[in-house]
Amino acid sequence: MLDVDKLHLFYGDAQALDDVSLSVEAGELVAIIGANGAGKSSLIRTIAGIETARSGRIRFHDAEITGLPSHRICELGIGQVAEGRQIFASLTVEENLDMGAMLRRARGKARQTRERMYRMFPRLAERRNQVAGTMSGGEQQMLAIARCLMGQPELIIFDEPSLGLA
């Protein structure tokens, strides 16, 4: 499903990724574990199209995605739950979920998917009209995950999923 081959990423002269390779098959759960500054977030940001690798290749379903902009990578089916949740704090829970369904692949099923998210995360259903920034860290993390799922991704990349949780 996802193949990363010999990825090199630099921030100026500082090398963040050095010859990173990995594969993720459908149905697999893969964890990248390492110390602070080891390049975990840089790898995720490069796969997601936020950073541009100096060299190496990233393929998704055998299609080259190296260097594609992040919105194109999302449209192809890679979702991301970013570090620090990155919710739209001034919008309601429901408005946040609707933002996750803006991708072409998800628009036609937004209402059904939103109801599925409410069944999956009942706390979000209870808070559907609440401004997202007023929720607890755990509730915001649920919202970030549900918003990602609204885009109907085939692959989800989490960065620091437990950050800020009790």
Angle (CA) 93-94-98 rounded to 5° is 120
3-state secondary structure string, the chain?
A: CEEEEEEEEEECCEEEEEEEEEEECCCCCCCCCCCCCCCHHHHHHHHCCCCCCCEEEEEECCEECCCCCHHHHHHHCEEEECCCCCCCCCCEHHHHHHHHCCCCCCHHHHHHHHHHHHHHCHHHHHCCCCEHHHCCHHHHHHHHHHHHHHCCCCEEEECCCCCCCC
95: amino acid identity, one letter: E
- Identify the pLDDT of residue 160: 84
Rounded CA gap, 89 and 64, in Å? 34
pTM over 0.85: yes
Closest CA to 93 of 82, 103, 105, 85: 85
Query: From first to last of its 166 residues, what are the pLDDT tens digits of the chain?
Result: 999 999 999 999 999 999 999 999 999 999 999 998 999 999 999 999 999 999 999 999 999 999 999 999 999 999 999 887 789 999 999 999 999 988 877 788 999 999 999 999 999 999 999 999 999 988 999 999 999 999 999 999 999 877 766 5
Please report, in angstroms and rounded to a whole number, the separation of the first and last CA atoms in the chain: 33
- Enter the CATH code of domain 2-76: 3.40.50.300
Domain boundaries of the chain, sorted by first residue: 2-76, 93-158
